[in-house]
Amino acid sequence: MPEFEARTVKEAIAKGLEALGLASEDVDITVLDEGRSGVFGVGGRPARVRITPKGESHQAGVATGEPPAVQDILQSAVEDVAETDVAETGSQEEAGEQAIIRIATDFLQGLLDHMGLNTALETSVMREGDEPTYRINITGDDLGILIGRRAETLDAIQYLVRLVVNQRTHRWHRIEVDVENYRLRREQSLQRLAQNMADRAVKEGHTIILEPMPPRERRIIHLALRDRDDVRTESIGAGEDRKVTIIPQ
């Protein structure tokens, strides 16, 4: 996960926010070491903080349950990106859409090549509201290793791509990484599940509790049913056990 050092905690946070291109309200900050000034410059140590974009704290580490080679490569990539000096990357604050896509695909393709995978990348830009979504779909054979349990590996890869683009452009961009349209197919499946379970809740007259899901998938369920007058949804539980309930009205 991204860690930053400086003379003081305040300076370390400022350094990290600049590197990520994010504001303080958009991140979670953990102080790892408050540092020490030392005497006459001797015996001191820098302050160290960990900064993670909100909503992605669960993605910052490497997914477990995957082959060690994949874990090692992704963890190494996390550390390399975190240690990269922003000055070395060059400033691209005015980067246009094509530059953003190039930054993202260059890094992602390099990561995939390092894994020894034969892949191709499909890119598109979707517009909903003021901020565009840059979508990168990875295609190839036998790519299940890139998805992982509950898409944890895919989420970790997406996190890394976002982090690199944020560093290079000094601002936040909405970037979605997919594998053989897995996310799209999963979203469509969840939307169908939501409607079917809502119909069942109304027919049987009792609350339906779905299986535990990550935040992104719970959001899909909530959005799929928000316009229905005959049911409402609530999330219950905590952590990995958090799930959606569908309640008949």
d(CA 161, CA 66): 19
d(CA 25, CA 13): 12
Q: What is the pTM of this model?
A: 0.62
Parent domain of 97: 56-180
Looking up residue 189, the CATH number of its domain turns out to be 3.30.1370.50
pLDDT digits (tens, 9 = 90+) for 190-246: 999 999 999 999 999 999 999 998 888 999 999 999 999 999 999 999 887 889 999
Tell me how many domains the chain contains: 3
* Exposure string over 74-101, b if 16+ CB within 10 A, otherwise e: beebbeebbebeeeebeebeebeeeebb
Looking up residue 60, the CATH number of its domain turns out to be 3.30.300.20
20-24, 31-35, 75-79, 143-147 — which one is most confidently predicted on average? 143-147
Choose the final residue of a domain: 145, 180, 215. Answer: 180
pLDDT digits (tens, 9 = 90+) for 145-175: 888 877 888 888 998 899 889 888 888 888 9
d(CA 183, CA 175): 13
User: Which is nearest to 130 in space by CA: 173, 94, 100, 176?
Assistant: 173
> Does 156 lie in the same domain as 103?
yes
